[in-house]
Chains A and B, each alone.
Chain A
Amino acid sequence: MNSKIKKASRHTNQNAGLIFEKSSPGKRAFDLPPLDVPAIDPEKALGSAHRRGGVEGFPEVSEIEVIRHFTRLSTWNYAIDLGMYPLGSCTMKYNPRVNEYIARLAGLATEHPSQPQELSQGCLKILSLLEKCLLEITGMDAITLQPAAGAQGELTGLLLTRAYHEKSGNPRRKVLIPDSAHGTNPATAVIAGYEVENIKSNAEGQVDIGKLRAQVTEDVAALMLTNPSTLGIFEQQIPEIAAILHGKGALLYMDGANMNALAGVTRPGELGVDVMHLNLHKTFSTPHGGGGPGAGPVAIKKILEPFLPVPVLVEKVDGKLALDFHRKESIGRVKAFSGNFGVLVRALAYILAYGPGIRQATEDAVLNANYIRKHLEPDFDLPYARPSMHEVVFSDALQKKNGVNTVDIAKRLIDYGFHPYTTAFPLIVPGALMIEPTESEDKEECDLFIDAMKSIAEEAEKTPEVVRTAPHTTRVRRLDEVGAARKPILRWKPAASRSEAAD
């Protein structure tokens, strides 16, 4: 087995207890300039009812300890900077470093959202150009950059849908969601006040047109469609889907999580989509940062424009840009201030770096996914044979015969130096392996991944135990998630947590 692991997997094993365990009174890591106004007795200023003695248990460490502590922690993580994440529907692509520099520029990072708009023209120009670029990419009519993430974008899109239907007199009660959808779709529909009705995919993993025709009534507000689907397959009948919905006055919502297969190649606006969200932390390269922040702009057709959340970016008569807070039919605010500006800046920088050549990224992403699919088809079950776009979904059906499932295979992949692919969905493929390499991988990394997966497939047959008990080479082995859920320990406490640091 060792000879087959060509990619080194290094997991630095230095100890680092919790920062609180390093603490000692009298240590400090950051000094303030001295106070240059008369000092105030907090007791006098606040009164004894409000006054606090000190923050119990707060860390007291030196600067070098902070650097060492967090640097060590960082070395226990996998990251895009180290290698491929084949996570389906996550689009873990390269996060361009110049974007970090730009977002931190004085004059951008320093701006207060409530400052006068005449002092914010630079920020507003950035927002305006990003809006224009995203509209060109999506082929839609208008956009809001306010939502803080994809899920919030989904909510905004559904609230716009609701406002539209309420205005036309029939609020409608239901949202149709394919059984292959990401979990945020049904969760969001409920928060937006809708009932969720599932629509089953057909044998080819696409929306079943017959079922759709039957299920779309005048009580249906929208269909939430991911395109390409979570199987990585383009919904070929999307124009017909749009027609069926529009025929009954319903709207087509597109979950834009998989835009990495479409940018520069086709435009959702032309396919009949009425409202969609984008995940800037997916297709548009803003860093995942261990779980966020992201941004989820929502692009719409004209019919939804009156309902956009405030503030709306407008151009005044004198050519200056402004934020308009007074929109009579707006759904209101979805977030304080005007969006995750720091994330929006990064996305614009990404788009400007590519320009019209953005199509090349899409092509490379689709090429990589198909290259991997071709090489792994002999080893893994492919439940849906339609052409893949930027991601491919296998299942663990072949390996299950030896008692090895997708989670085991994913954990074994860690020993080969990779992050696992997506195992949790789509729900319509039991034991799914959802693989999306993105365009950021060269042929060599793709080959290393293919070799690793082929090797694991062989292990699943010959030495399944090795796969079932993986990973073997990490700092910690399979963690007790059951204990963590039964008796949750969600914070450090002085007495209770004097347990041994990991060795």
Chain B
Amino acid sequence: MAYPKQFRYTKEHEWVDAKDGNATIGITDYAQHELGDVVFVELPATGTAFTAGKTFGSVESVKAVSDIYAPASGEVIEANAALQNKPELINTDPHGEGWLIKVKLANPAELTSLMDAAGYEAYIEEKKKEASA
């Protein structure tokens, strides 16, 4: 799966799609692949504020739970309600319909330190090499 060029990426495998001070956040295709079939997603309520680096929810497969870390500070505008009944959207369309939350960014400048698509693709190549070493 291609990594959308307009997204920014974190080392914890989240993607951020920012526009006009708001951002949509999700986890990457690499992350969903590592996790396996998603069975449940725990997301924050609308209005919740968080700072960059803190966890804001979790994604569960049968045998594992992954905390999701906020790539930037902000306030939740909307959590993806579709994931309640169809958590598998994270597996089938992690960069699109599997989005997790929409936020109002507190400080859009925080995003400049994140990786771009090419940087992220190189990062996960390294990870794959480490795993098979």
Contacts and interface: CB of A to CB of B under 8 A. Distances in A.
Chains A and B share a contact (CB less than 8 Å): yes
Interface of A: 481-482, 485-486
A347 to B, nearest CB: 33
Contacts of A481: 62
Range, interface on chain B? under 10
B128 to A, nearest CB: 14
A395 B62 CA distance: 22
Interface in B11-29: none
A482 B60 CA distance: 10
B71 interface: no
Contacts, number: 13
A487 to B, nearest CB: 9
13 contacts: A481-B62, A482-B37, A482-B39, A482-B61, A482-B62, A485-B39, A485-B40, A485-B60, A485-B62, A486-B39, A486-B40, A486-B87, A486-B88
A481 B62 CA distance: 7
Contacts of B61: 482
B104 to A, nearest CB: 31
Given A481-B62, A482-B37, 5 more contacts: A482-B39, A485-B39, A485-B40, A486-B39, A486-B87
A482 B38 CA distance: 8
Interface of B: 37, 39-40, 60-62, 87-88
The list of the 8 closest CB pairs from A to B, nearest first, reads A485-B39, A482-B37, A481-B62, A486-B39, A485-B62, A482-B62, A482-B39, A486-B87
Contacts of B88: 486
A183 to B, nearest CB: 12
Nearest to B39: A485
B116 to A, nearest CB: 31
A485 B87 CA distance: 11
A482 B88 CA distance: 10
Contacts of B39: 482, 485-486
Nearest to A482: B37
Nearest to A486: B39
Nearest to B60: A485
A482 B87 CA distance: 11
- Most chain A Cβ neighbours within 10 Å, of B39, B40, B60: B39
A481 B40 CA distance: 13
Instruction: Identify the interface centre among B37, B60, B87: most chain A CB within 10 Å of its CB.
Output: B37
B91 to A, nearest CB: 10
Contacts of A485: 39-40, 60, 62
A490 B61 CA distance: 18
A485 B37 CA distance: 10
A481 B88 CA distance: 14
B39 to A, nearest CB: 4
Contacts of B60: 485
A486 B37 CA distance: 10
Nearest to B91: A482
Contacts of A486: 39-40, 87-88
A481 B64 CA distance: 13
Contacts of B62: 481-482, 485
A43 B60 CA distance: 49
A338 to B, nearest CB: 37
Nearest to A400: B132
Contacts of B87: 486
A482 B62 CA distance: 6
Nearest to A424: B63
Contacts of A482: 37, 39, 61-62
A482 B35 CA distance: 12
Nearest to A407: B63
A481 B87 CA distance: 14
A486 B36 CA distance: 13
A297 B87 CA distance: 43
B105 to A, nearest CB: 32
A486 B39 CA distance: 5
